[in-house]
Amino acid sequence: MTGSVGPHTGSHTGSPAEEPPDDEAPGYEGLATFCHRPWIPDLADLAARGPDVAVIGAPFDIATTHRPGARFGPRALRALAYEPGTYHLDLGIEIFDWLDVVDAGDARCPSGQTEASHRNIRTKVGGIAGLGIVPVVIGGDHSITWPAASGVAEAVGWGELGLLHFDAHADTADIIDGNLASHGTPMRRLIESGAVRGRNFVQVGLRGYWPPPDVFAWMRKQDMRWHLMHEVWERGSRAVVTDAIAQAVDGCRALYLSVDIDVLDPGFAPGTGTPEPGGMSPADLLRAVRQIALDTPLVAADIVEVAPPYDHAENTVNNAHRVAMEVFAALAHRRRAAAGGVPDLPGRDPHATR
């Protein structure tokens, strides 16, 4: 965490024009920035303001192996999510009183161009991470985690970044249909390049029918750890997530959280490219994300594979949006705790009963 500790008063260096016209307005009103936060796409402007967190869109989906559509994820998360308020009940905190979050716009992803798109994502995410701002990247298919986490590793230390990965799929294939930058291969690229060490790469929620055993043999050789959905079912999410955290941060100075929304059961998140039945519930995923943001040196996160064309009633959009809200709330809680503050009603200390 960087920057000052304490409630934000609204008197930062950004110009008034950057502020949304009325942050009390309902979510369906006005400009569709993430959570109606100020829109600050320029890196110099971000450096001048120095927010705690910057949301970045990565509207890219040509690396998907099945249903395309995740390029529309960032826009949907900004425009369609139900915004009920900003007070987190469990932590008893008015999130944006303690955490300055801005919307840094999108990395440019020109149609049909994987290399240019990935390069732009890496530059934008890495530049923001290099300022000590926590990037929260909204995808986009999962291929974007390769450039995004590479950019973060460059900023915080190559090979010193742990990665906690929630997904139905391992995404560690070598090559798919001739594509090294598929949404089924990013995790292998990150380990091969040394951006993330295999032993600090931990996966939760894997299930279904892919990948085959030779891929798991490669993963084992890299000392990767995985927790199948079956283990979550057997032991419960809380115990598994506690173990996954310990494995991911062991010997690491920073953590990247990657959430493929298809880790949720398709009943909760139908709007995604490769839905796999038998997944996590939102109640478990949201608490897992909260626990991770509370208890690890989290420096970046992404939420990927939201494909609005297949969504129903904004279920997928709302679940993905709340993943980001849990990150925000937990980071806000840490700032308040560092300043000696405690949860207001009806919240309680998240560590009191553990």
Taking CB under 5 A as the binding criterion, the range among 23-31, 99-107, 159-167, 313-321 that sits at the site for Mn ion is: 159-167
123: tokens are 């530059």
Size of the site for Mn ion (CB under 5 A): 5
Report which of 58, 17, 73 is spatially closest to residue 40, judged by C-alpha positions.
17
> Helix or strand or coil: residue 155?
helix
Q: Which residues pair with 264 in a beta bridge?
A: 280
CB of 205 to Mn ion, least distance (A): 9
**Contact status: 61 vs Mn ion (CB under 5 A):** no
Structural contact between residues 294 and 341, judged by C-beta atoms closer than 8 angstroms? no
Of 37, 169, 188, 197, the residue at the interface with Mn ion (CB under 5 A) is 169
CB of 249 to Mn ion, least distance (A): 23
Round to whole Å and give the CA distance between 36 and 103.
8
CB of 260 or CB of 302, closer to Mn ion: 260
> What is the 3-class SS of 193-260, one letter each residue?
CCCEEEEEEEEEEECCCCCCHHHHHHHHHCCCEEEEHHHHHHHCHHHHHHHHHHHHHCCCCEEEEEEE
Taking CB under 5 A as the binding criterion, the range among 62-70, 83-91, 164-172, 201-209 that sits at the site for Mn ion is: 164-172
CB of 61 or CB of 262, closer to Mn ion: 262
Of 167, 295, 311, 326, the residue at the interface with Mn ion (CB under 5 A) is 167
Of 61, 97, 141, 260, the residue at the interface with Mn ion (CB under 5 A) is 260
Taking CB under 5 A as the binding criterion, the range among 43-51, 120-128, 188-196, 262-270 that sits at the site for Mn ion is: 262-270
Residues near Mn ion, by CB under 5 A: 167-169, 260, 262
